[in-house]
Structure 1
Amino acid sequence: MTSVSAPHTTRTYIRWALALLGALLITGLSTITTVDPVRAPPAPTDIDLTIGGISSIEQTFSITQPDLVGLAIQMRNAAQSDPNTRIPVRLRYADGPQFDLVIGDAFVRAAKDDMLTLRFPAITLIHDLRVPTTTLKLTLSIPALPPGTGPMITVRENALRQGEIAIDGRAEPSWDLVIVPIYERRWADRIWPISAMARGKPGLLGWPPLYPLLGYLYLLMLGAGIAALRQAQTTPPSDT
């Protein structure tokens, strides 16, 4: 008959408690979401344009991460403009079906620190084979303002050719509207970005914490297996 010592039992309880605590921590980190700070560092090629006299501005850009939840447009001189100026906004696929992913209004008074931020429910295109493209088109319908008046938008030389701006229907491939995509991320994805595997899946398979938990379970089993192997190698054979 084999007896189990009290210290061994205590160590077992501690291991299980730590494993459970780790699982709870991963579940929490996989549930909590955050967004990165909005920054638009200046560039030598920046040019400010007043929106007065312009009727429409279109800008294409590509999504590089899942869960797009907003866009920030660089807009200067907003404080000296009519704060009630309303700019209708549309967001569509650049190619493919022409329906609105986002439609709404942006008000000049909402601009802070030279950035006009638009927020909307998360748009997920990455890793989704059902969508035709990950390139979107932002359309700003500018209200009638006298030329040379109103807030200023910033355009920048398009060195990478990853998108283009069109002003009043005239394409300007060498320039971009300065916009900053805002992405929502789960805290756990900053360490191990695998919760995106849940997107589009039904039931439990669509629960974002499931995949970090499965990865955590795999690491626990791997660690336990390595520890058992090392113990077997270091334990002297018993005398028979």
Structure 2
Amino acid sequence: MTITSYNPADPTDLVLAVEEPGAEAVRAAVGRARAAQTGWLAAGAAARSAALGRIADAVEAHAEELTALIVREVGKPLAEARGEVARTAAIWRYYAQAPYTPSGAVHETAAGPGLLFTRRRPYGVAGLIAPWNFPLAIPSWKAAPALAVGNTAVLKPAPEATACALRLAELARGPGCRRTCSPCCPAGRRRARRWSRRRTWSPSPARPASAGPWCGRRPSAGCRSRPNSAG
């Protein structure tokens, strides 16, 4: 199946045509992201912060190109497209500080001496499903917090915003951010529905994140809390 994206202002203007990866290709992308996750987490807060900051720099350096692509592919007015590009860079720069955020908390014990604490740990691979209406900002506010805390991610953009997503993925593959940390898998709506219904891919599970539930959980997206006790 071929994924096509047309200029909504000119239906004869084909922005992009790309073959949809099959199930095995998606599993392979998840596998590569999972293999990269251990090293990405072990690189440490400073390396992840620097990598996300470089993505913000890349977005700003290509601002005019990205603005024109948004206008052409999803039909936004020029001023609104410029605003989204600026917002996209700001999202990456904001979450570039997230790796330094304390990743847990110490709690009082119910009775007697002891140590009770929680520690947040990354899931592993986040499956990101994004709509078309903010073709750069929404993938960014899903991917940036997930990457910041040590996850990797696989992005499934809306068919109508595939060119924007692929260009953002290219910019994110610069120095310091592993190529397999956030691959982009174009797909049609039918495959996206199957993806969102499946909680795991065997043998490499990935947590799906759709447009809605994660929008209000940006500061902690992609983390889980495990209680630990000692003493």
Which of the pair is proportionally richer in helix?
Answer: 2
Bin the TM-score by the shorter chain. under 0.3
Which of the pair is proportionally richer in strand?
Answer: 1
**TM-score with structure 1 setting the length:** 0.25
